[in-house]
Amino acid sequence: MVMAKPMRALALASLVLLLYITFQVFRNPPPIKEPRIVYPDMKTDPNLEETHEPPPPIHRADSSYAPNASPSSRINATILSLVRNEELDGMLQSMHDLEATWNHKFNYPWTFFNDKPFTQRFKDLTSAATNASCFYHLIPKDHWAVPSWIDKSLYTESAKLLGGKDVQYAGMVSYHQMCRWNSGMFYRHPALAHTRYYWRVEPKVHFFCDVNYDVFRYMQDHNKTYGFTINLYDAPATMPTLWPETLKFLDAHPEYLKDNDSNSRAWLEDSERRPEHNKVANGYSTCHFWSNFEIADMEFWRSKAYSDYFDHLDRSGGFFYERWGDAPVHSIALGLFEDKSKIHWFRDIGYQHIPYFNCPNVPGQCSGCRTGLFTDGEDFLYKEDCRPNWFKYVGMG
């Protein structure tokens, strides 16, 4: 039987399409593009180098870290999340990652905060995601409410001006409340009154690498105050008066400033790499630790230096008239009032909060994170990386 010409043509076209699809599936993947931004003092990303655990002493998991162990090797610490009921799916994703890579071995408690009561469904599903204890707390109204000294008309006008400068969330009151709470209210919650260390975890973040030591005990044993993974520039239009207000505070309280050999002020004031940021932010580089990940000692936030600094900023109104975030506020305070040797880069913890990564080279320990990746977004995002400044002025400790 001879196949008709139209059928032969259709069969040939189908064969060509099949061959093309097969080629696309099995061909070598295109080369991964390297960052276009090259810094004079950071020729290559240090995460490309093989990364090891921090120096001893470090503490491994054993039976004393079991959920109900008594006595327990866990110290006075918690995993902390500010989260809404509607963010449950994203929270469960974050919990799954951190439990799989770290907390299933150490079983530190999870402490959740919300300005609305948690639903039973939220409690049931999050508590089922871990063998550790879970605690759920409502934020006191006086911790979350817009302060009485904020002029609502001025806030409305300021939000319009910020919106005209493309500042995100300028008109969202709850975002300003969140930034203020994360800056200076969370550690005042009665539920944390007797807790010292915390690991902040937000919904929809990823953890990629097995961590086989107790990070809280590392902080304690090595006298560390703050740990970060990602170090960025911020949008200067959100905080034109934050640095001037900081300088006013320093003029009134010079006793709080660490000496120049110990502080990180040069990192805060750098004007070489992003001079336009420094200009718009009136002397502040806008470099900050991205605080959606932070492992920290709350004794620093409870100190008189930080308490006085936060109260000064709070009374100035910048959390509402501008859009000051907790990341720059925390970072400025750490850079001025804390010894830089007490700030630690957790380079061995693989982490992502869209669109940025910390992807270390830890052989056999990481999955789903390409070594040295800073962002999977557009090339222009590489210029937001402020690690080169930190390494330049402080180092990689």
Catalytic (active-site) positions? 294
Quick check: helix, strand or coil at residue 368?
coil
